[in-house]
Chain A
Amino acid sequence: MRPGAPETGDPGDSAPRHDDWVPTRALGRAVLVTGALLVAAVLLGRTDLIVLALPLALSVAFALAKRPRDLPGLRLSTVESFPVEGGELGATAEVENRDVTGYDLTVVRVQHSPWLRLDDTGAQGRHVGGSRPYVTLVPRGVAAAIELAGPAVRWGRHSLGPASAYAVAADGLLVSRAVVTGALGVKVYPLTDPFKADEAMPRAAGLVGQHRSRRPGEGGELAGVRQFGPGDRLRRIDWRVSLRTERLHVAATLSDRDAEVVVLLDLLADAGRSGGIDGTASVLDRTVRAAAAIAEHYLHRGDRVSVLEYGAAARRLRPASGRRQYLTVLEWLLDAHPSPTAQERGGAQLAAGISAAALVVVLTPLLDARSAAMLAGLARSGRFVVAVDTLPEDLAVPATNNWGEVAYRLWRAERENTIGQLREHGVPVVAWAGAGTLDAVLRDVSRLASAPKATLR
């Protein structure tokens, strides 16, 4: 198989090669049997053997009277629909006959990621499942399209293709060389779990946003009425109070502030088996879907969100706000893969790159001891840290021997101990449960934030 130059370029720019079409075994068989029958007929003087040879000889002669010269053209295309998990995806494999003679059939194979459940819906109109070759008739000068459609069942960057095709002509006596197209990349965005959090935010920053701050300023939340002073805007004057007191008073408001949310993805280890949108979720699936949901929620509220990776790649997405940032986060999450590393930065090192006022939401399965150490380090550095446990509840226990169950329970107990220690260090750990996951812990963190505290820097 070679890259399919002929199918992408102009038909005239690729001259036919002598090995583009090769004889099949059927041709050799027809010639052999015909020859044997004719020789026997002549040697034995039997005309009935000529009669037996006649259909075979005629079929070869008729079939090879017009033999094809050009290879079939093949094109693979997809509709840019940017599906989310579970969304429908469509693709078309178009095979073209540029020859002067028709093909008996063309066999088209489209390889694709197992997470794209594409089936033929064109000719058959029925669900057959699996990645099967398609056999279609392609008369001369005609292009036949094979429509593939189906759901994309898991987030990520998936490959659609390469597609390959070979044609059969001359009643199965000649077969063409396979033409191969390149692969197409398909982006499937994670389906965001439903997520909501109340307005509690430990420390808002900036001058615009939707969170109430404790500082007076331009905003929508009424703080009280006070006497007019230099610098106050005239439209802030509360005329009713001013008339009653005969002194100018203005309505004082609290300033609206935005907040920075840092979503930290622990990608040191993965666990569980991913079954797509309808199946079980692995740690990575839960992490990515939760990160998308948290980012969507806070970006929708006007906050700034940045995303960090705790793993070998240590990728970082700068903080920003708005819908563009949401799309950037989704794109960024597509490249999240488990990336174990021997040397990982500690919490203190991570904290150096995180704003002191930011809320750090760490999505971690707590499978690696370094994850707990990182959380503790972040908390010691004075960051507002919330850990979201992304370990699936229905994790299957490997039953390798009789001690597997006991070892698993021991490991679970040790993990619970670690979570307890983290809570003692001021790091709330909550299991990911979609909407309302962070409400209780955010209230606690906000209360802690309002209290004076000494931090190690």
Chain B
Amino acid sequence: MRQLTERVRAVGRITGGPLLVRTAVFVAAFVGLVVAAPSGTLQSRLLVGLLLAAALPALAPRSIAVVGVMLAMIGLWLVDTMAFGAPVTLTRLLALAVALYLTHTAAALAAVLPYDAIVDSQVIIRWAARAVLLVTVSGGLTIALAEFLPGRHIAAPNVALVLGLAATALTIGLLTQLGRRP
């Protein structure tokens, strides 16, 4: 009961900046889930489920819910394209990539902003500008890749598979090292 009272009081203390960022998390997660979900299954009951799922990272941006929702987007995308055989269109792919990234970056900001903080608007404006810049660069690269790559599916021989896995391991190792180095 005491915890519930404290939670209610906490909701009353929330300020505009953190509320805006959490709303962005919710919107990005919901859009990502809707884009990734198979179109035939988008009924009202499922939409309610997606709404609830999208609300989790907005309510608890420091929790594992964020990564859970991001993996759910990828899972739904794979199910739709592989099980239901939906075609991979560039628009839908870009929309999902942007939603995935925005969910991640907005949750990262929401996680470091105390819910009752008085936030300088420059912080959010600068964060949004960086996100837009990155989305633009990624979008440009994606369109270039779409032109450059032979198709959506690559019939990979074993050598290419091993090389691809090695490249993946190298990328992950590099990103991890970037995070660890002093």
Pairs across A and B, CB under 8 Å, 23 listed: A26-B104, A29-B107, A31-B175, A33-B104, A34-B172, A35-B168, A38-B168, A45-B155, A47-B153, A48-B77, A51-B94, A52-B96, A52-B97, A54-B97, A59-B105, A61-B175, A62-B134, A64-B179, A67-B181, A104-B126, A107-B114, A172-B112, A174-B179
Q: Which residues of A contact B155 (CB under 8 A)?
A: 45
Q: Is B51 an interface residue (CB 8 A)?
A: no
Q: Identify which of A120-128, A300-308, A371-379, A407-415 touches chain B.
A: A120-128
Give A187-206 interface residues, CB cut-off 8 Å to B: none
Q: Which residues of B contact A54 (CB under 8 A)?
A: 97, 138, 141-142, 145
Q: Which residues of A contact B141 (CB under 8 A)?
A: 54, 58
Q: With A24-B111, A26-B104, A168-B112 given, is the CB distance from A52 to B127 under 8 Å?
A: no
Q: With A123-B120, A137-B123, A173-B108 given, is the CB distance from A29 to B70 under 8 Å?
A: yes
A40 to B79, CA, bound (A): 13
A137 to B178, CA, bound (A): 24
B 71-88 binary contact with A (CB < 8 Å = 1; else 0): 100100110011000001
Q: With A51-B142, A135-B123, A172-B105 given, is the CB distance from A40 to B78 under 8 Å?
A: yes
Give B151-182 interface residues, CB cut-off 8 Å to A: 151-156, 161, 164-165, 167-168, 171-172, 174-176, 178-182
A175 to B17, CA, bound (A): 19
A54 to B136, CA, bound (A): 12
Q: Which residues of B contact A58 (CB under 8 A)?
A: 134, 137-138, 141
Q: Is the interface of B mostly helix, strand, loop or mixed?
A: helix
A105 to B21, CA, bound (A): 14
Q: Is the interface of A mostly helix, strand, loop or mixed?
A: helix
Give the nearest-CB partner of A35 in chain B. Answer: B172
A190 to B164, CA, bound (A): 76
Q: How many whole Å from B152's CB to the nearest CB in chain A?
A: 6
Q: How many whole Å from B17's CB to the nearest CB in chain A?
A: 7
A36 to B155, CA, bound (A): 20
Q: With A31-B175, A35-B172, A58-B138 given, is the CB distance from A47 to B145 under 8 Å?
A: yes
Q: Which residues of B contact A171 (CB under 8 A)?
A: 105, 108, 127, 130
Give the nearest-CB partner of A18 in chain B. Answer: B182
Q: Which residues of A contact B146 (CB under 8 A)?
A: 51
Q: Which residues of B contact A107 (CB under 8 A)?
A: 112-114, 117
Q: Which residues of B contact A137 (CB under 8 A)?
A: 120, 122-123, 126
Q: Which residues of B contact A18 (CB under 8 A)?
A: 182
| Ranked 6 nearest A-B pairs via Cβ | A172-B108, A26-B108, A42-B164, A55-B101, A64-B178, A38-B168
Q: With A35-B168, A42-B164, A52-B97 given, is the CB distance from A47 to B152 under 8 Å?
A: yes
Give the nearest-CB partner of A27 in chain B. Answer: B179
Q: How many whole Å from A269's CB to the nearest CB in chain B?
A: 31
**4 further interface pairs, Cβ-Cβ under 8 Å (given A130-B116, A136-B123):** A26-B104, A35-B172, A42-B161, A104-B127
Total chain B interface residues with beta-carbon distance under 8 A: 70
A residues neighboring B (CB under 8 Å): 16, 18, 23-27, 29-52, 54-62, 64-65, 67, 69, 104-105, 107, 120, 123-124, 128, 130, 132-137, 168, 171-175
Task: Please determine whether B104 and A30 come into contact, CB atoms closer than 8 angstroms.
Answer: yes
Q: Which residues of B contact A124 (CB under 8 A)?
A: 118
Q: Which residues of B contact A132 (CB under 8 A)?
A: 13, 15, 114, 116-118
Task: Please determine whether A173 and B179 come into contact, CB atoms closer than 8 angstroms.
Answer: yes
Q: Is B149 an interface residue (CB 8 A)?
A: yes
Give B24-82 interface residues, CB cut-off 8 Å to A: 62, 66-67, 70-71, 74, 77-78, 81-82
A128 to B117, CA, bound (A): 10
Q: Which residues of B contact A133 (CB under 8 A)?
A: 114, 116-118
A69 to B181, CA, bound (A): 10
A67 to B17, CA, bound (A): 25
A42 to B167, CA, bound (A): 9
Q: Which residues of A contact B119 (CB under 8 A)?
A: 135
Q: Is B135 an interface residue (CB 8 A)?
A: yes
Q: How many whole Å from A69's CB to the nearest CB in chain B?
A: 8
Task: Please determine whether B111 and A172 come into contact, CB atoms closer than 8 angstroms.
Answer: yes
Task: Please determine whether B175 and A45 come into contact, CB atoms closer than 8 angstroms.
Answer: no
Task: Please determine whether B97 and A105 come into contact, CB atoms closer than 8 angstroms.
Answer: no
Task: Please determine whether A25 and B138 come into contact, CB atoms closer than 8 angstroms.
Answer: no
A43 to B160, CA, bound (A): 10
Task: Please determine whether B134 and A135 come into contact, CB atoms closer than 8 angstroms.
Answer: no
Q: Which residues of A contact B154 (CB under 8 A)?
A: 45-47
Q: With A41-B164, A132-B116, A137-B123 given, is the CB distance from A31 to B100 under 8 Å?
A: no
A442 to B13, CA, bound (A): 54
A440 to B135, CA, bound (A): 83
Q: With A16-B182, A45-B155 given, is the CB distance from A52 to B74 under 8 Å?
A: yes
Task: Please determine whether B93 and A52 come into contact, CB atoms closer than 8 angstroms.
Answer: yes
Q: Which residues of B contact A56 (CB under 8 A)?
A: 100-101, 104
Q: Which residues of A contact B142 (CB under 8 A)?
A: 51, 54
Neighbour of B112 across the interface among A67, A105, A136, CB < 8 A: A105
Q: Is B109 an interface residue (CB 8 A)?
A: yes
Q: Which residues of B contact A69 (CB under 8 A)?
A: 182
Neighbour of B180 across the interface among A23, A45, A47, CB < 8 A: A23
Give the nearest-CB partner of A130 in chain B. Answer: B13
